[in-house]
Amino acid sequence: MADEADALAMAPGDVRERTEKAVEAMGFLGLERDLVIKTLKRLHKAFEYSQSMWDHVEMENYRMLADEALNLQTKLEKKRERATADDDASERPSRNVNRAQSSFPSTPRVNSYPERSAAALKALASNIIQKEEEAGRKKMQSDRKVSAQKDPSLSLSGRGPTPRTDGRAVRIIDPSEVTAARRRPDNNIAHKKFKQRKEEFKPQISPPALRAQVSGSHDIRKKRQRLVALRELNEPGGEAGEVAHGSDHDIDRYVKGQCRHDDKDLSRGFEAIPIPIVNHINSETLPSSFFYIDKSRPYEKAFVNLAISRIGDDDCCPNCHNDCLSAPYLCACARETGGEFAYTSDGCLHRRYIDQFLRIKKGLSAERKHYCESGFHCPHERHKNEENPTSCKGHPVRDFLKECSSKCGCSKQCGNRVVQRGISRKLEVYMTPEGKGWGIRTLEDLPAGAFVFEYVGEILTNTEMWERNNEIIRNGEGRHTYPVALDGDWGSEANLKDEEALCLDATYFGNVARFLNHRCLDANLMEMPVEIESPDRHYYHVAFFTNRHVKAKEELTWDYGIDFGDEEHPIPAFPCCCGSEYCRGKMA
Ligand SMILES: C[S@@+](CC[C@H](N)C(=O)[O-])C[C@H]1O[C@@H](n2cnc3c(N)ncnc32)[C@H](O)[C@@H]1O
């Protein structure tokens, strides 16, 4: 029974349901969904991602959540006010995280809800946790006394809380102690506001009805649904139990969807060919915080304009039929690639692109570079040291591939539509034996120039990406994000703002390319920028092609272009174990 209750608390469906209930309850107070989700994340973190957070959140009609949401609202309002003031004072907001943190003014605010810092919230949570543990210990001691009287061999004296299979300690909650620990003086504004709003709702919803709506814990039907969901999650490949190790992103994840990886097909049928997941090395499973998507999507603020009206008559071939490659004339879509299509009739990238790539890699051809016009406004450089930015080190000039698009008259099978048709090669995600974590290998021989996959992820502005990285640094998670800058055209834009420059991040949402490992210099894949829907090259596709023949079962690799010696980079590079004779990132 105890196990069942425990497992119930960990079921992702349960977390999602509880999140929704909390959002709904706060909606009655006029608190917005985004704010509530953010607050839940803060609480989640403050409770060290323990599922016991939910018990506290749901107590007393979500009183704690209402308090914290109002705290956060005040904080965000203050931040917005400050940002507006800063905007007036200077044109560009600060990007240096460390400085931004330390220079946060702490001016008291009049007529606002008292603000609580993350540290204070953490202190509050640890106070509650301590109380719980104390209560748990007391309860265990008394339980032990009873059990010892019944069966002396069950005595666990001196061992502390019972370890769970997931490594976290079980906390036995005594609600009366917890409530006492959280009780606040009567002049608690949030509580008053909450009570007042509850009064306002009285005519429409009686307190028991509200309670049923916001909690559902007494609703037998809901309980049964939870149990069914739990049973499903306990099937092989399910992720029951993983939630206990969740991060800040968990709540987002449960709001956005569930991540259950199917060992038979990572893509859940979204790709034409299934992508199996195999692990013959250890017992690790794929990260549950990763969700497979087959097409890139903007995260929040990225401006991606794919309007048909932006495709000019010169950028498409409306008069073509079937296959542009076998037409007796060269259509407009070949003009972009120098009057020749980029693909051969067997669907591979033309040899000239591979040769050019290899020449550049081997240093035989000078890499052409674009330099940001004003030098010091390079998005790559300016965040490193805002006070004293380094000048633009140049962006490689990329030869874009251009595929036929929605305004072209050819068919989906046209030879100039390779990347947009998606993955067509047999691939496998597997646990690498060299300690690189998961990797990708091909299950079939691939000729040179074969399209393998594109890099799919969330489309973020540079600002959003830095915020995401900084959050990871602040949380001391020691994790990496997996962004790829869409910098193919940065060099041609003067004063490109961080709010406009884009990148793809596949850390949480992405396709199989997210498991592509790095190899120094002699990797077998090369990346190519591809223009499909948008001729402006602000947003484009990053496609991977083989640069040589690759044998079945070989790992697919890419040279990330990491500068392993870059000490200014806020996230240290991983010690490389690519095994290449040209390795630049080996540990000493
Ligand atoms: C894009 S992910 C690739 C998938 C990753 N291996 C995984 O298990 O999720 C990049 C991360 O993989 C690991 N990695 C990639 N190439 C590596 C290499 N050559 N040596 C060691 N670790 C590597 C690093 O941890 C890096 O941050």
Give 287-328 pLDDT, tens digit per residue.
888 999 999 999 999 999 999 999 998 899 999 999 999 999
Ligand 1: does its nearest atom lie under 6 Å from the Cβ of 517? Answer: yes
Residue type, 434: E
Query: Tokens at residue 427, please?
Result: 């691939």
Q: Is 247 strand, coil or helix?
A: coil
Instruction: Delineate the domains of the chain, giving CATH numbers in brackets.
Output: 2-260 (no CATH), 291-558 (2.170.270.10)
User: Is the C-beta atom of 576 inside 6 A of ligand 1?
Assistant: yes
8 Å CB contact between 273 and 265: no
What number of CA atoms fall less than 13 Å from residue 566's CA on the CB side?
13
Instruction: Please tell me the distance from the alpha carbon of residue 345 to that of residue 547, in angstroms, as a whole number.
Output: 18
Q: Is the CB of 482 under 6 A from ligand 1?
A: yes
pLDDT value for 85? 66
The model's pTM: 0.60
Q: Output the pLDDT for position 29.
A: 77
State whether the beta carbon of 370 lies less than 6 angstroms from ligand 1. no
Angstrom distance (rounded) from CA 35 to CA 27: 10
Nearest protein CA to atom 27 of ligand 1, as residue: 480
Nearest to 550 by CA among 467, 447, 449: 447
Q: Which residues of the chain have pLDDT under 70?
A: 1-13, 45, 48-50, 60, 79, 82-258, 364-367, 373-377, 382-387, 477-478, 493-494, 568-570, 587-588
Does the interface predicted TM-score (ipTM) exceed 0.85?
yes
Q: Specify the pLDDT at position 121.
A: 61
**Which among 266, 517, 581, 584 is the best mutation to test ligand 1's pocket, defined by most ligand atoms within 8 Å of the CB?**
517
